[in-house]
Amino acid sequence: AKFACSVTCLQFLSGIFLLNDIRKKGSSDAYPPDPFIGGVVLTILSLKLGTIMGDDAMIKVNVIGFAINVVFMVVFYWYASGPFKSKIWSKIGIAATFTMGCLAYANFEDPAKIEFRFGMLITAILVILVGMPLLSLGEIIEKKSTEGLPFPLILSGTVVAAAWAAYGISIRNEVVTYQNLFLLLLSSIQLSLFAIYPNTPSNSTNKKVSPPYNKLKSDSPSKSKVDKKRD
């Protein structure tokens, strides 16, 4: 449990690299706020699940994760421009409505079924977030390059999923076990792409194609007329 909590906290802190890039650019407008907003939502829902399960490890790690994501979100918002701040608030409103709906559902659901169903709800959200890079699988195969995939985040996510899956097995909790085994599978698939393709642009994308106007110029009527006059 301690190891799982430690690696999860380290994963939460991986957002520092993104915030450092934002600090250097002086603006967060080029980046989506979804990772931080999603982090706040997931930690709140996971905190609720930990409370339902009575799991101290899950409660502690998600309290820390919630605090970290809130701080990151505040910094992200600070570097946003006026128009972009309005978009951030609209996304926060949607996320808040969704979160309150999930928490309300947890309070009215059958206590005998809530642990499994609420766990599956969180799993579905995690699968969407973790599996999102796989939507560009066709492009990765076509370009034969993993450029653009966040290797540090995928690697840390794989370690975290493995740690929590092992923890779920140790406490014999099916929700925690199956949830993280599935996430481990998704992360492993993404991680395997780095073993198959390089993280740099492929040679095919670097090849310079001769401008089409060169061919047009050589076949232009004006040139053919000049050649005929010379003949």
Per-residue pLDDT of the chain (231 residues; tens, 9 = 90+): 566 677 777 777 777 887 888 899 898 888 888 878 988 998 999 999 889 888 888 898 899 999 999 999 999 999 999 899 999 999 999 999 999 999 999 988 888 888 888 888 888 888 877 777 777 778 888 888 887 676 777 787 888 888 888 888 988 888 788 888 988 998 888 888 888 888 776 655 444 444 444 444 444 444 444 454 444
- In the chain, the N- to C-terminal Cα span, in Å, equals 89
Give the pTM: 0.69
Domain ranges of the chain: 2-230
Q: Which positions ≥6 away from 183 have C-beta within 8 Å?
A: 123, 126, 127, 130, 157, 161
